[in-house]
Amino acid sequence: MVMRDESLTAMTRGSVGAKGANHASGASRAGAAASALLAALAAVLMFGAIWMVFGGYVPTTKRQAQRVEVGSTVRLKDVESGEVLTLTLLPSGETPRTASEISAGSVLGQALLGKERTTRDAATDRAVPTIVEGEMDGRARRFRFDPDAPQMPYDKKIEALDMPQRIFYFHVPSAIITFLAVFLVGGASLVYILTRSRFWDRVARSGAELGILFCSIVLLTGPIWAKPEWGHYWTWEWRLNFTAILWLIYLGYNLVRAYASSAEEASLVSAVLGLLAVPLVPLVYVAAELWEGSHPKPTLGRAGAQHDPLVSNGFLFCFLTFFILFSALLVLRTRLLGLEEELERLKRRPARAERGPAPESAR
């Protein structure tokens, strides 16, 4: 009787275990299907974004690349005195806080707004800096745009700016996704430190790997645009410096993950690095506001900021595409890390055959 009860108990446990395994297997298949659909959606949108940007939907060069708008930073050289100024155009009605800012409603601001930085010289057929006249410091002055920008035949100048301007639609969304990744890694790292949950550690690790990927895109695409526009691949301004520091921190994060002596040590040290990187995001964002540089100042949410609707729509579509791509990669990578950890646990579990034969009474 006792043997029959034990057999029934064993059968019941086996049945429950089989049901649990089937349930887990079904959930796993559903998760894999959802991940595959998300990845497919991201791929389709990415092809759509490439077509939109390089297929000619969004305006480039003549309509947007050289034109001065609210938020633009311009370099001007006084034709008479030779003084070089770097000015940022603020929305009308906004009071300048530094000498490097002017309102779009001022006399010089109105003269700059809508101007293209280079014009065609009919005599030489070359792109020459545009001359603009306006009042500044109580007197009339004449300025020339971008004195250090490379000069070339006009058609070549337009062609040279066309492709780099399209980079804008990938450069800026990549920067925003980098910021989101940093906040995600910081939040997941904090939760991991408080709870020691392996799930949040996997989320932080996945976010950090994607963070350095998108930050690398930012640092690689920026100079492609900067060279024909500013005349330099890199300027040691604070926005660029802070972005480079952020990339180095995430490089260290991933190196710790790869070469730490133990998984627990890697998780703790990486969590600290993930938290240290968070303050760099607001510093990168406000750097153009606090320190003078070539980057235009943020216009998001500012009154009076005007943008070409085609530019805004194209940028929004590319941002949503990059966001979905980031989400898909995050889900897939987190899932993969979970499977790797499960595999390691199974490898460490001793095989049933190594435990020896079962007792006679249990047979």
The Cα–Cα gap between 253 and 250 comes to 5
SS3 257: helix
| pLDDT given for residue 213 in this prediction | 95
> 10 Å Cβ neighbour count for 187?
17
The Cα–Cα gap between 204 and 200 comes to 6
Give 146's DSSP letter: -
Give the global pTM: 0.68
Beta-strand runs (E) in 207-319: none
Beta-strand runs (E) in the chain: 73-78, 84-90, 101-103, 118-121, 126-129, 131-136, 139-145
Task: Give the tens place of pLDDT for each residue, 121-135.
Answer: 777 666 677 888 888
> 10 Å Cβ neighbour count for 308?
15
Tokens of 348: 């460490």
Residues of the chain with CATH 3.10.50.30: 73-145
- The phi and psi torsions of 249 (rounded to 5 degrees) equal -60, -45
The helix, strand and coil proportions of the chain, stated in percent and rounded to the nearest 5, come to 65, 10, 25
The CATH classification number of 73-145 equals 3.10.50.30
Q: Nearest CA to 231 among 163, 288, 151?
A: 151
HSE value, Cβ hemisphere, 13 Å, CA-based, for 302 = 19
- The phi and psi torsions of 270 (rounded to 5 degrees) equal -65, -35
Task: Give the tens place of pLDDT for each residue, 196-227.
Answer: 999 999 999 999 999 999 999 999 998 887 77
Residues paired with 136 in a beta bridge: 139
| pLDDT given for residue 250 in this prediction | 96
User: Which ranges of the chain have pLDDT less than 70?
Assistant: 1-28, 31, 56, 59-66, 124-127, 146-163, 229, 292-294, 296-310, 350-363
SS3 358: coil
| pLDDT given for residue 307 in this prediction | 56
Contact 158, 221 (CB under 8 A): no
SS3 204: helix
| pLDDT given for residue 232 in this prediction | 77
The Cα–Cα gap between 77 and 68 comes to 16
| pLDDT given for residue 224 in this prediction | 83
Tokens of 85: 């100024």
Contact 316, 300 (CB under 8 A): no
| Distance (Å) of CA 321 to CA 48, 49, 185, 212 | 9, 7, 21, 18
Q: Nearest CA to 209 among 46, 332, 322?
A: 332
Measured on CA atoms in the order 100, 102, 108, 110, is the torsion positive or negative? Answer: positive
Q: Nearest CA to 77 among 231, 284, 283?
A: 231
Contact 269, 260 (CB under 8 A): yes
